Amino acid sequence: MRIAVYGASGHTGRLILADLRRRGISPLLVGRDADRLRAAATESGLPDAAIHVAQLDDQALAQAFRDVDVVINAVAPFIEFGEPVVRAAIAAGAHYVDISGEQAHIKRVFDTYSEPARQAGVTVVPMVNDGGFLGDLISSLAAARVERPEHVTLAHRITGGTGISRGSGRTAVANADTFVSGGEIYTRDDWRTGTPARTTKVTFPGDSQPSEVVKFALSEVVTVPRHVPADHVEGVADAEIATLFLNITTELAEALPEFPRDDPDSPDRFLVLADVTGSGGTARGYVEGTNTYQFTAIAAAEAAVRLATDGAQPGVLAPSQAFDPADILEALAAHGIRWSVGPTP
């Protein structure tokens, strides 16, 4: 199985390399800087891994991805640098997975590359991470318990940990307009900006009191309406995470650590929740876990291996369209996530 990692020299890129090595796969490292790629290979326990230097140039990238089964894209920010890698993977006939959490990038991948991917016979799955990916999978399982689902609220919360990487900080700055507006909500058969979220408080699992939430540009708002026939799909986040993303500046982003180290005694904890209501009842699904970046790397490697091994229908797909949601969540549960679907409390 031949897997290429673009942006292999970054924080999550290195964690992806380490997870592929754990699976016995020696990936091809692709990026713009040979020294940084070689250092990433060595530090990830893959000193002999193949390296291909390619800038973000369509032809150079397509050449790098020749004979590759799946490309994992770990560049940052995706809104600035993600697109050439998608185009080149399709041109090279390779499946594609990325770890983006950027609503605008993910929407653009669906809008622009669905037809080219179908024609090339390859599967493109953006957003494989600890956020939107889990939100999409758990929404599909919660919605399956509700006859005629009408409304889906997705909510994210992250607590504790050592904070975000410089790459995530740069990503927040590059998407500042989307974050400030709260992004798009799906309502009345289309994605719309400017529509307020209906949900202002969520009682997260384990809490006795509701928390304030604010409209937030969650990326799975782009994907859930593609497989859940609801009239309204909105994203909100715990007011504290939203404040972090809204207040980031270039200076603050550049001061963040390039490779933040998780504190094993007090890792970050993420929680992704989907509340589905409809005329036929209600359901809640949620997924919780720790170590955002480490989990994202494991999920991206798992998705890439599944595409290389089992394939999926060609085109740009939501996670729930590319993979069996319960089966992939169960496989990932072996890496520390916990998931649950049941009646709304």
Ligand X SMILES: NC(=O)c1ccc[n+]([C@@H]2O[C@H](COP(=O)([O-])OP(=O)(O)OC[C@H]3O[C@@H](n4cnc5c(N)ncnc54)[C@H](OP(=O)(O)O)[C@@H]3O)[C@@H](O)[C@H]2O)c1
**Amino acid, single-letter form, for residue 105:** H
Among 65, 245, 293, 323, binds ligand X (CB under 6 A): 293
With beta carbons less than 8 A apart as the criterion, state whether 188 and 198 touch.
no
108 interacts with ligand X by CB under 6 A: no
> Of the two residues 78 and 113, which places its CB atom closer to ligand X in the complex?
78
Residue 70 CA to residue 293 CA, distance in Å, equals 20
Range 82-101, binding ligand X (CB under 6 A): 99-101
Question: C-beta of 71: minimal distance to ligand X in Å?
Answer: 14
Residue 62 CA to residue 88 CA, distance in Å, equals 5
Interface region with ligand X, contact rule CB under 6 A, candidates 116-124, 140-148, 290-298, 336-344: 290-298
> Of the two residues 75 and 213, which places its CB atom closer to ligand X in the complex?
75
75 interacts with ligand X by CB under 6 A: yes
Nearest CA-CA partner of 16 in 315, 258, 305: 305
Among 9, 123, 140, 291, binds ligand X (CB under 6 A): 9
β-pair partners for 71: 4, 96
Question: C-beta of 130: minimal distance to ligand X in Å?
Answer: 5
> Of the two residues 115 and 240, which places its CB atom closer to ligand X in the complex?
240
Tokens in use for 323? 């993979």
Question: C-beta of 174: minimal distance to ligand X in Å?
Answer: 8
161 interacts with ligand X by CB under 6 A: no
Helix (H, G, I), strand (E, B) or coil at 5: strand
For the chain, the 3-state helix, strand and coil shares in percent, each to the nearest 5, are: 40, 25, 35
> Of the two residues 146 and 304, which places its CB atom closer to ligand X in the complex?
304
> Of the two residues 131 and 278, which places its CB atom closer to ligand X in the complex?
131
Q: Residues binding ligand X: what is the number (CB under 6 A)?
A: 32
Q: Is the dihedral of CA 3, 310, 220, 114 positive or negative?
A: positive
Secondary structure of 174-192 in HEC code, one letter for each residue: HCHHHHHHCCCEEECCEEE
Among 11, 107, 157, 284, binds ligand X (CB under 6 A): 11
Among 153, 296, 320, 321, binds ligand X (CB under 6 A): 296
**Amino acid, single-letter form, for residue 21:** R
> Of the two residues 68 and 134, which places its CB atom closer to ligand X in the complex?
134
Among 167, 235, 267, 315, binds ligand X (CB under 6 A): 167
- Helices 325-333 and 292-310, interaxial angle, to 10°? 130
254 interacts with ligand X by CB under 6 A: no
Secondary structure of 245-308 in HEC code, one letter for each residue: HHCCCHHHHHCCCCCCCCCCCCCCEEEEEEEEEEEEEEEEEEEEEECHHHHHHHHHHHHHHHHH
Tokens in use for 192? 């719309």
- For the window 33-52, what string marks contact with ligand X as x by the rule CB under 6 A? x--x----------------
Judged by the rule CB under 6 A, the positions of this chain that interact with ligand X are 7, 9-13, 31-33, 36, 56, 74-78, 81, 99-101, 129-131, 165-168, 171, 258, 292-293, 296
